[in-house]
């Protein structure tokens, strides 16, 4: 039984029964669509940290998909919600979601856009609904790259499949039977249990939502199996594994070895290679964790008590090696209600460390999140700083991070007292 401690008093939170008539699957879908952060997708695949809601009830030939999300990197998440009081739903939901996956794997990019328009009731629109959504989240979107990434994920069937409901108790062996029927598709499946609670007094309309990952598929190894049938009795089978250091082409997270090897292959100067090694090695000594995304390592501080995660930047493999995702720090400080002075001082210090860089503000996006970043040149839309510019100031950069971490820790600790 969760307890809410507020103003020196402890109040018990009671679970909201899912069999109450006023709470339906439709309301659960609406809640997840309005608040995508409720889905702990990044715990299953890190590249799905920031989900962008696309539509509800996506029309397909095998029925409407409950919820569709995407990321700025062109990754797609398919979500089915089920209240588990219906035994038939428990048996069919996995097979149903796999059917959606097989259907979308036949689609082109334009097929997906057409379906999204129908779901939103915008069939007369000629604009790209996916690009329009991502542009609100990403300041320097390359439409051509985004189109290619989404198309490739559709072709490969590389999706994140999420089944979300209450009291999930599905038989894992039974689920495995369905998964083994589609080895040609590259999806990941996760089960997420959502607990809803409210104050027993009924005086507060707010919800306490408790999501948790119950189960997920795990990829053990990848291989390419090629079957050549030149004649009836001449069948050749070749199995090959990707060589170490090859960059993935499916939008998934890369490894440390792949990232460092890429820096070498791109003829970066030795000081950049040394800088990348140094950052990865020093992160833990500064209370930071390394999270590997599709572009490179993200430096994060996670507050041990609240679980709030603050990103201080990413060593990105794009554009010859750049320092990106600085805007996430300001957005997270704002989201958690920390003083603006914390993120303002950190970004200002980063700007001073990088020659010819400038700090810009460009208002807020549709979610009310700040658009602020450090860029090269006279505009917010210019390139991000290259790693070779921050490498000589690496120790000063980490001192700026240390100072910001201390301010975050102090502010959150005081809030909990």
Q: With a cut of 70, say whether residue 35 has pLDDT above it.
A: yes
| Residue 204 neighbours by CB under 8 Å, 6+ apart | 198
Q: Do 212 and 260 belong to one domain?
A: no
> In this structure, are strands 65-70 and 52-58 parallel, antiparallel, or unpaired?
antiparallel
Please give the mean pLDDT across all residues of the chain: 80
Same domain, 114 and 262: no
The domain boundary residue, chosen from 216, 239, 265: 216
Q: What's the distance, CA 28 to chain centroid? A: 21
d(CA 305, CA 285): 19
Residue 346 sits in which domain range?
256-416
What average pLDDT score do residues 18-34 get? 76
Same domain, 197 and 297: no
State which of 216, 238, 273 marks the end of a domain. 216
pLDDT of residue 156: 85
197 shares its domain with 271 = no
- Is the domain of 177 the same as that of 285? no
Query: In terms of DSSP bridges, do strands 159-165 and 188-199 run parallel, antiparallel, or are they unpaired?
Result: parallel
pLDDT value of residue 402: 96
Q: Are 40 and 193 within 8 A, CB to CB?
A: no
Which region, left, alpha or beta, applies to residue 58 given φ > 0 means left and ψ of -120 to 50 means alpha?
beta
Closest listed residue to residue 384, CA positions, set 331, 332, 325:
325
Domain boundary among the residues 184, 200, 216 is at 216
Residues 313 and 365 in one domain: yes
Q: How far apart are CA 319 and CA 270, in angstroms?
A: 17
**363 — pLDDT class (breaks 50, 70, 90):** low
For 362, counting Cβ atoms within 10 Å of its Cβ (0-12 exposed, 13-18 middle, 19+ buried), the class is middle
Q: Are residues 297 and 182 in the same domain?
A: no
> Which tokens hold the place of 279?
């950052």
Which 8-state DSSP code applies to residue 128? -
Say what percent of the chain tops pLDDT 70: 77
Q: What per-residue confidence (pLDDT) applies to 249?
A: 47
Contact yes or no for 381/140 (Cβ under 8 A)? yes
* Spatial contact of 117 and 55, defined as CB atoms under 8 Å apart: no
CA angle 70-76-82, nearest 5°? 95
Eight-class DSSP state of 386:
B
* pLDDT number for residue 65: 94
pTM of the model: 0.62
Residues sharing a CB contact under 8 Å with residue 253, sequence separation 6 or more, in sequence order: 45, 46, 47, 292, 293, 294
Q: Could you tell me if 78 and 65 are in contact, meaning their C-beta atoms sit under 8 angstroms apart?
A: yes
* H or E segment and range at residue 189: strand 188-199
What confidence score (pLDDT) does residue 399 get? 96
β-sheet bridge partners, residue 5: 10
**Of 365, 283, 297, 354, nearest to 330 (Cα)?**
365
Q: Give the pLDDT mean for 163-178.
A: 62
On whether residue 249 sits in a domain, the answer given is no
In the predicted structure, residue 106 carries a pLDDT above the cut 80 = yes
Distance CA 19, CA 17 (A): 5
Please report whether residue 102 resides in a domain: yes
Coil vs helix vs strand at 37: helix
Whether the pLDDT of residue 352 is over 90: the answer is: yes
Q: What is the pLDDT of residue 252?
A: 56
- pLDDT over 90 (residue 181): no
Task: Give the pLDDT confidence score for residue 401 in this predicted structure.
Answer: 96
- Average pLDDT on 129-137 reads 86
At residue 234, the pLDDT reads 60
The total of structural domains in the chain comes to: 2
The answer on pLDDT for 309 being more than 50 is yes
Rg (CA), the chain: 23
């Amino acid at each position: 039984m969760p307890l809410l401690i507020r103003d020196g008093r402890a109040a018990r939170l009671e679970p909201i029964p899912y069999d109450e008539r006023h709470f339906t699957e439709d309301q659960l879908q609406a809640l997840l669509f309005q608040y995508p952060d409720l889905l702990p997708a990044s715990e299953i695949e890190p590249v799905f940290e920031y989900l962008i809601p696309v539509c509800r009830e996506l029309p397909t030939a095998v029925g409407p998909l409950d919820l569709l999300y995407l990321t700025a990197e062109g990754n797609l998440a398919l979500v089915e919600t089920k209240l588990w009081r219906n035994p038939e739903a428990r048996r069919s939901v996995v097979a149903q979601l796999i059917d959606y996956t097989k259907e979308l794997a036949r689609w082109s990019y334009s097929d997906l856009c057409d379906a999204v328009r129908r779901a939103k009731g915008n069939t007369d629109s000629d604009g790209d609904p996916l690009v329009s959504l991502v542009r609100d989240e990403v300041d320097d979107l390359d439409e051509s790259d985004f189109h290619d990434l989404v198309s490739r994920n559709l072709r490969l069937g590389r999706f994140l499949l999420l089944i979300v409901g209450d009291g999930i108790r599905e038989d894992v062996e039974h689920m495995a039977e369905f998964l083994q029927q589609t080895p040609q598709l590259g999806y990941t499946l996760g089960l997420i249990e959502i607990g809803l609670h409210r104050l027993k007094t009924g005086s507060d309309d707010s919800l306490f939502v408790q999501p948790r990952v119950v189960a997920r598929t795990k990829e053990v190894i990848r291989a390419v199996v090629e079957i050549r049938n030149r004649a009836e009795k001449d069948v050749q089978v070749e199995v090959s594994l990707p060589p170490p250091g090859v960059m993935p082409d499916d939008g998934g997270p890369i490894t440390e070895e792949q990232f460092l090897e890429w820096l070498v292959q791109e003829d970066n100067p030795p000081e950049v290679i040394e800088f990348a090694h140094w950052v990865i090695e020093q992160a833990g000594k500064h209370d930071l964790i390394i999270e590997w995304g599709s572009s490179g390592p993200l430096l994060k501080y996670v507050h041990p008590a609240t679980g709030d995660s603050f990103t201080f930047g990413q060593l990105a493999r794009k554009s010859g090696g750049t320092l990106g995702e600085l805007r996430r720090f300001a957005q997270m400080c704002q989201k958690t209600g920390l003083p603006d002075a914390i993120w303002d001082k950190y970004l200002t210090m980063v700007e001073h460390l990088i020659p010819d860089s400038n700090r810009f503000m460009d208002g807020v996006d549709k979610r009310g999140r700040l658009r602020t970043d450090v860029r090269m040149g006279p505009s917010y839309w210019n390139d991000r700083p290259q790693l070779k510019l921050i490498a000589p100031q690496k120790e000063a950069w980490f001192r700026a991070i240390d100072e910001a971490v201390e301010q975050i820790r102090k502010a959150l600790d005081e809030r909990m007292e």
